[in-house]
Amino acid sequence: MTINWFKYASPAAFYPIAGRLVPVFSIAALGLVLFSLYWGFFETPERLGGSNPQKEYYRIIFVHVPSAWMSMWLYLVLAAWSGIGLVFNTRLSFMMANAIAPTGAIFTFIALWTGAFWGRPSWGTYWDWDPRLTSELILFFMYIGFMALHSAIDDSRRADRAAALLAIVGLVMLPVIYWSINCPDPNNCAALHQRSSLTQIESNILTAMLTMTLGFWLYSFATAFARLQGIILTRELESAWVRDMVSGPTPAASGG
């Protein structure tokens, strides 16, 4: 059985699917986020040990790390849709990239913001020009730049292509962010930010962190699809199917 994927590349075909998916993803995201908050607040140790003797404030990790992951993942997805759009000239791909951008920017901002509130009690500063913090800030500017460039060009097809190119160029930030704290020789990239670790995390902390990540991911689907519906309607305003849907089929427009 072969599925004709290009059928769903048509905004008219995907619009109702997106509409049906939004509530599904919203409810699942809400459930997972509430569960993660409960688990993160009540089932995890109240302080850490060893040379990381953080007190209650370490719980910022349950929002900070998932949003930082989503900020990088959503940029990858945004750039992927931009690339697909450039190759196949599919309008829906560009619309998808545009729908993802604000969510990605919000998660980047949340990662920076919660990081500042975490850094103050633990490190002793809200902000420092550490490689990890600086590269994440640049990623935030990439999202802002993508949205700004797209809205600065009136012709939406040209705006799509220009912003898509910018998104692909901005991919350069993802390996820089990753290796800013995970380089093979730590002497070469001395940083204030601690390294990544999934193996040295207590299982309840890890559970809350991973379910929160899944919740944020489903939230991203929900907001992107909701935004996509708005973008489709705005950009297909003149097409027959939108007019039919808004005002009901009229005898003159039927068959369109």
Partner 1 sequence: MKARQKRMLFVGVAILGVGVAASLALSALQSNIAYFFSPSQVHAGEHPTDAVFRVGGLVVEDTLARQEDGLTVRFDVTDNAKTVPVSYTGILPDLFGEGQGVVAKGRIGTDGVFYADEVLAKHDESYMPPEVQDTLQTAHVEGVIDAAGEAGDTAARTLSQ
Residues 216, 67: contact at Cβ < 8 Å? yes
Selected binder of partner 1 within 28, 159, 171, 245 (CB under 8 A): 171
Q: Are residues 132 and 180 in contact, defined by beta-carbon separation less than 8 angstroms?
A: yes
Q: Which is nearer to partner 1, 59 or 227 (CB)?
A: 59
CA separation for the pair 62, 43 (Å, rounded) = 12
Is 16 a binding residue for partner 1 by CB under 8 A? The answer is: no
CB nearer partner 1, residue 181 or residue 232 = 181
* DSSP state letters, 8-43: HTSHHHHHHHHHHHHHHHHHHHHHHHHHHHHHHHHS
Among 53, 126, 250, 253, binds partner 1 (CB under 8 A): 53
Half-sphere exposure of 1 (CA within 13 A, CB side): 1
Residue with Cβ nearer partner 1 (151 or 200): 200
Told to check if 25 binds partner 1 by CB under 8 A, we report no
- Of 221, 222, 212, 215, the residue nearest 65 (C-alpha): 212
Which of 2, 187, 247, 254 binds partner 1 (CB under 8 A)? It is 187
Phi, psi values for residue 125, rounded to 5°: -150, 150
Smaller CB separation from partner 1, 21 or 86: 86
Angle subtended at Cα 30 by Cα 26 and Cα 36, rounded to the nearest 5 degrees: 145
Q: Which of residues 124-143 bind partner 1 (CB under 8 A)?
A: 124-125, 128-131
Q: Which segment (13-21, 30-38, 45-53, 247-255) binds partner 1 by CB under 8 A?
A: 45-53
Q: Which residues bind partner 1 (CB under 8 A)?
A: 45, 47-55, 58, 61, 83, 86-89, 121-125, 128-131, 165, 168-169, 171-172, 174-176, 179-180, 183-192, 194-197, 200-202, 205
